């Protein structure tokens, strides 16, 4: 059975309110702590979250044209996104944490209003490239925006030593959306018809997903498979860090258990549900 629609529209408001509360709780040292997001500190990640909320409202709600030539390839898309990200973070060095918090509260409230108004089944204005799609349903694009907010909020919580978000359903929704990246990640992986990879995620937000080779493509569903070619087991906290580029290499290996043909697990370890 194919993956069902994941409706995240009503999750934006409580998540963004939780993040605003988190921002209010950070002290001066917390705002300058390093994060897993490369060279970005907590304040840089927070600035990026403000930027993406304002961008979504401007480009999607208000239909402002995205600057520059429309990207024709994944590489051009990544360059465009990285340029937008870097330029805003630089400008935001002029903003105090208090100002950023107030602006994020305002922008994220407007964002929640907008997301709640959208038709799940309309065509997305921007397709979800990391899912390998050139045309997407709007529910997946909405979910992509939710995963962006959630994982950046989690980066800040990690950096400030605040632990995971308290709502397990938020991470469950993030994982459901992120699993749409797997067929695209496996498109060049050779395997016999019927070969299957079971991804078992443990923990309060966990679930089981199966990727199956079907002629010349891979299909994913939310059903377990008793006799899978390969089975990968990891926790929900490991899964989001893997899929959102917060964990790799030697740090990842002891956190992932692989049964069966190990080569079939390798593309999973390189799967990312973000534009990189």
In the three-class reduction of DSSP (H, G, I as helix; E, B as strand; rest coil), residue 188 is classed as: coil
Task: Say how far apart CA 1 and CA 209 lie, in whole Å.
Answer: 11
- CATH fold of the domain at 182-269: Nonspecific Lipid-transfer Protein; Chain A (3.30.1050)
Q: Do the beta carbons of residue 107 and residue 120 sit within 8 Å?
A: no
When the candidates are 3.50.50.60, 3.30.1180.10, 1.10.3720.10, 1.20.120.450, the CATH number that belongs to 9-166 is 1.20.120.450
Q: Which two tokens stand for residue 195?
A: 């070969």
Q: Do the beta carbons of residue 231 and residue 198 sit within 8 Å?
A: yes
Q: Do the beta carbons of residue 140 and residue 157 sit within 8 Å?
A: no
Q: Which residue has the tokens 């990968």?
A: 232
Q: Which two tokens stand for residue 17?
A: 């309110």
DSSP conformation class of 9: G
Q: Do the beta carbons of residue 42 and residue 31 sit within 8 Å?
A: yes
pLDDT value of residue 76? 86
Largest CA distance in the chain: 57
Q: Do the beta carbons of residue 42 and residue 35 sit within 8 Å?
A: yes
- Could you list the pLDDT tens digit for every one of the 276 residues in the chain? 679 999 999 999 999 999 999 999 999 999 999 999 999 999 999 999 999 999 999 999 999 988 777 888 878 888 888 898 999 999 999 999 999 999 999 999 999 999 999 999 999 998 999 999 999 999 999 999 999 999 999 999 999 999 999 999 999 999 999 999 999 999 999 999 999 999 999 999 999 999 999 988 999 999 888 899 999 999 999 999 999 999 877 888 899 999 999 999 999 999 999 987
In the three-class reduction of DSSP (H, G, I as helix; E, B as strand; rest coil), residue 56 is classed as: helix
CB atoms within 10 A of CB 67: 9
Q: Which two tokens stand for residue 4?
A: 């069902």
pTM: 0.95
Q: Do the beta carbons of residue 217 and residue 40 sit within 8 Å?
A: no
CB atoms within 10 A of CB 189: 16
pLDDT value of residue 1? 64
Q: Which two tokens stand for residue 55?
A: 């961008």
Q: Which two tokens stand for residue 217?
A: 């493509």
Q: At a CB cut-off of 8 Å and minimum separation 6, what does 215 contact? A: 193
* Domain ranges across the chain: 9-166, 182-269
Tell me what percent of the chain is helix, strand and coil, each rounded to the nearest 5. Answer: 55, 15, 35
In the sheet that holds 230-235, the strands lie side by side as: 217-221, 207-214, 196-202, 230-235, 257-260
Torsion over CA: 144, 148, 149, 151 (sign):
positive
Q: Do the beta carbons of residue 205 and residue 171 sit within 8 Å?
A: yes
């Amino acid at each position: 059975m194919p993956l069902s629609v994941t409706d995240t529209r009503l999750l934006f408001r409580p998540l963004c309110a939780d993040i605003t509360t988190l921002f209010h709780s950070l002290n001066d040292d917390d705002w300058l702590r390093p994060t897993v997001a490369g060279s970005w500190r907590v304040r840089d990640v927070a600035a990026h979250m403000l930027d993406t909320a304002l961008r979504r409202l401007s480009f999607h709600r208000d239909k402002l044209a995205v600057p520059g030539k429309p990207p024709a390839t994944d590489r051009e898309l990544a360059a465009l996104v990285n340029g937008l990200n870097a330029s805003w973070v630089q400008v935001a060095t002029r903003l105090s944490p208090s100002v950023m918090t107030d602006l994020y509260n305002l922008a994220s409230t407007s964002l929640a209003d907008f997301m709640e108004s959208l038709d799940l089944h309309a065509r997305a204005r921007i397709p979800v490239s990391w899912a390998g799609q050139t045309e997407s349903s709007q529910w997946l694009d909405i979910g992509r925006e939710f995963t962006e907010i959630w994982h950046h909020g989690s980066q800040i919580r990690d950096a400030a030593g605040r632990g995971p978000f308290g709502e397990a359903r938020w991470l469950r929704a993030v994982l459901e959306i992120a699993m749409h990246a797997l067929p695209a990640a496996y498109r060049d992986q050779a395997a016999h018809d019927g070969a299957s990879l079971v991804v078992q995620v443990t923990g309060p937000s966990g679930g089981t997903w199966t990727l199956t080779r079907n002629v010349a493509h891979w299909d994913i569903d939310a059903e377990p498979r008793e006799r899978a070619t390969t089975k990968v087991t990891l926790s929900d906290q490991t899964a989001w860090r893997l899929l959102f580029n917060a964990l790799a290499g030697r740090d990842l290996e002891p956190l992932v258990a692989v049964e069966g043909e190990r080569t079939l697990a390798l593309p999973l370890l390189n799967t990312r549900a973000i534009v990189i």
